[in-house]
Chain A
Amino acid sequence: MSGTHTSGSAPAATPPAAAPPPAPKPAARPRPSLAGIGVPLLFALLCVFGAWVAHLTPEFLLREMLSRFARNAVIVLSLLIPVLAGLGLNFGIVLGAMAGQVAVIFVTYWKIGGIAGFALAAALAVPIAILFGLGTGALFNRSKGREMVTGLIAGFFSNGLYQLLFLFAVGSVIPWHAQNMLLPQGYGLRNTVDLIGIQYALDDLIKVHVTLEGSPVRVPVVTFVFIALVCAFNLFFQRTRLGQELRAMGQDPHVAATAGIPVDRNRLIATVLSTVFAAWGQLFFLQNLGTLNTYSSHDQVGIFAIAALLVSGATVSRATVGQALTGTLLFHALFVISPLAGKALAGDAQIGEYFRVFVAYAVIAVALVLHAWRKK
């Protein structure tokens, strides 16, 4: 019996002692694989088909996509660093979204509106997200090889704690002086928090409206600038020393460890960065939407962001900035189109609703299968 213990899978992966520390190779451009082109193409066709059967005009789509893309891009981008580090898809970004929501709730409570309020929320979200990220990262380090399922469950678990805090502690244990935010029973936040104070704070910082189909459409220029900044950060980050270390870890954690890379510490950093970006992403989302569904805004964040990334042909172990952006576009286009197409095709919008949820789940399932299959 003990014989099999020594010949397990782990030691086999350690390189011969003489192996030189792998100088992280200059990033080889990922060769476009079949999945890399086929998957986004399939979804693009699906979108075009849906738009065609539902008789959607390009103007309508453009109007919808402008706000949806601005809303969701950052949170999808927040997934990139953990993928680079070999942590897989970070289902723990739900905690980041919660951090953003905690910040936005406090800013609303203090009645600080406008861009000042948004900036304060963004600043406040950072320490909270760092804390949450450290927590998730520690869990990931204790569950190597099953980070994704751990992140998923960590999201559910923290949802319980979040409810405990805002549904029961606020107003009873934690003094809360804004009665209008509380439920009639005197404690617990209402199901929706009105974010009118910070709505469009960022989107309208520089007001640009174009006229489409006779009505003005908001172009969130500043938000797009910030999205570009996050993209630039991701690109720059991959070229830093830390970024290269993460890449080496993503390729082979054992080799990385032998090369003297502090694997556990770097994994923590990657998780924290991802959580902070997710918190900001959720803030971008909320300032555009203008209302916070206190107990459900964060629920689907992880699934939709991850599905959006995967729709572009990204995988569990390789995802680029470009894929994050195209994925956001494609997935949210499908999101707009599918209920309308469902209605046009079957006379029932509900079918389209179920279809888009099915697509989100199925895309993730297929990506996971492909990932595990290839690893064999």
Chain B
Amino acid sequence: MAERAPAAADQAERVPLGAALREHLREIGIPRVLIGVFLLLLFGVAVATKMDIPSLLTDCLLRIGRNGILVLALLPAIQGGIGLNFGLPLGIICGLLGCVITLNASVGGWAWFWLATALGVAFAIPVGLAYGWLLNRTRGQEMMIGTYLGFSIVSGMSIFWIMAPFHNPELVWAIGGKGLRTTLTLGNTFDRLLDRLGEFKLAGVTIPTGTLAVFAGLCILVELFFRTRAGVTISAARSNPRFARACGISDSRTRVQATVLTTVLAAIGIVVFCQSYSFVQLYTAPLYMAFPVVASLLIGGASVSRATLTHVVVGTVLFQSILTVALPVTSQVVAGDFSETARLIIQNGMILYALTRRADR
């Protein structure tokens, strides 16, 4: 309701190159310049202190692939007019549930990956429907409700992880034989499945081809979807609900569709994350997961009411690179983990900036 800019902003995408360039320059803005400079600075220090640059880049690529789909998951929410989806943990929990159930059944290898994803998606669809229904009835407070719904579900699921009847000795605590461990190991037979698929070395940098390809593939799918009739309907209902209603589009419906889509993508995203990370983290691990993901998208140039695929990719690359590089580089200069503090400031500063931007209201 409070968004007026998007209708105009969407049109800007289809204007000639010169104007588009100016639009992009305007959009880069101070925060992104600062963050870009910070990243360059980090790499500068890395070069100056003769660190292993190829291995730094390898880690960056790994993390970009690992987190990319989660960032992408935010895109449909913004397109659908829900805003920044701080309720991402809802989808994440669905994906984790898929992972845990398949691991409990001792499924391994590729079968594990596909089954976990399929189960995650199967859980995410009803969850997304319910979440979308709730958000339709609580318009204007989507971000706050998403945040606390996420918090509640994650802490409620903590009780579930303890109580649920999982008995696979690989997963439950050795003492007592009950309750899932906080971190499940994927074991070296099938961890990093996607990462290792078609992995190759380029100038000393290892490219996790599979994960990056899946990220790219899903990006293209989402982009294509938003060009189909259903996708266009979703963005049209967001940018002008009244006009859409006049055309027979109910924005309540499209908002639910968008919510299902982000929840499903979050579920897929966490399975890909887990395989690349080689661990499934349960209990409080997903509690704050939405915030760095949201910050990634915003660093890419998105606002509370507008985001594009470019924002997703640029933001993931910038923020994940900073997160990867900051720890080893700053530890060369300062003792103690400065990167965590830097992450808190950059991440939340970015979200605050987006929330308080006047142009956005």
A240 contacts partner chain B, Cβ-Cβ < 8 Å: no
Q: Cα distance A111–B251 when bound, in Å? A: 62
Q: Cα distance A351–B283 when bound, in Å? A: 12
Q: Are B341 and A160 in contact (CB under 8 A)?
A: yes
Number of interface residues of A (CB under 8 A): 49
Least CB separation from A172: chain B residue: B334
Q: Are B344 and A159 in contact (CB under 8 A)?
A: yes
Contact residue among A144, A185, A351, A365 (Cβ-Cβ distance under 8 Å from B163): A351
A window 277-308: CB within 8 A of B:
none
Known contacts A354-B162, A362-B156; A142/B141 CB under 8 A: no
CB-defined contacts of B148 to chain A, threshold 8 Å = 361, 364-365, 368
Q: Are A368 and B352 in contact (CB under 8 A)?
A: no
CB distance from B292 to the nearest CB of A (A): 11
B window 46-103: CB within 8 A of A:
86
Contact residue among B137, B141, B152 (Cβ-Cβ distance under 8 Å from A362): B152
Contact residue among A1, A350, A361 (Cβ-Cβ distance under 8 Å from B7): A1
B window 140-177: CB within 8 A of A:
140-141, 143-145, 147-149, 151-152, 155-156, 158-159, 162-163
Least CB separation from A5: chain B residue: B4
Q: Are B159 and A354 in contact (CB under 8 A)?
A: yes
CB-defined contacts of B347 to chain A, threshold 8 Å = 156
Q: Cα distance A354–B155 when bound, in Å? A: 6
Known contacts A161-B345, A163-B341, A368-B138; A351/B159 CB under 8 A: yes
Q: Cα distance A156–B349 when bound, in Å? A: 9
Q: Cα distance A7–B240 when bound, in Å? A: 12
B201 contacts partner chain A, Cβ-Cβ < 8 Å: no
B335 contacts partner chain A, Cβ-Cβ < 8 Å: yes
Least CB separation from A155: chain B residue: B348
CB distance from A221 to the nearest CB of B (A): 37
> Taking each of B143, B338, B340, B355, which has the highest tally of chain A beta carbons within 10 Å of its own beta carbon?
B355
**Interface 9-mer from A56-64, A146-154, A325-333:** A146-154
Can you list 16 A-B pairs, Cβ within 8 angstroms, ordered by A?
A142-B358, A148-B141, A153-B348, A160-B342, A163-B344, A185-B335, A185-B336, A348-B179, A358-B155, A358-B158, A361-B148, A368-B145, A368-B148, A369-B134, A369-B138, A369-B145
Known A156-B347, A355-B159; further 5 A-B contacts with Cβ < 8 A: A1-B243, A145-B140, A148-B141, A188-B336, A373-B138
Interface, chain A (partner B; CB < 8 A): 1, 4-5, 7-9, 139, 142-146, 148-150, 152-154, 156-157, 159-161, 163-164, 167-168, 183, 185, 188, 346, 348, 350-351, 354-355, 357-358, 361-362, 364-365, 368-369, 371-373, 375-376
What 0/1 pattern do residues 184 to 216 of B give for CB contact below 8 A with A? Answer: 000000000000000000000000000000000
CB-defined contacts of A371 to chain B, threshold 8 Å = 141
Q: Are B163 and A346 in contact (CB under 8 A)?
A: yes
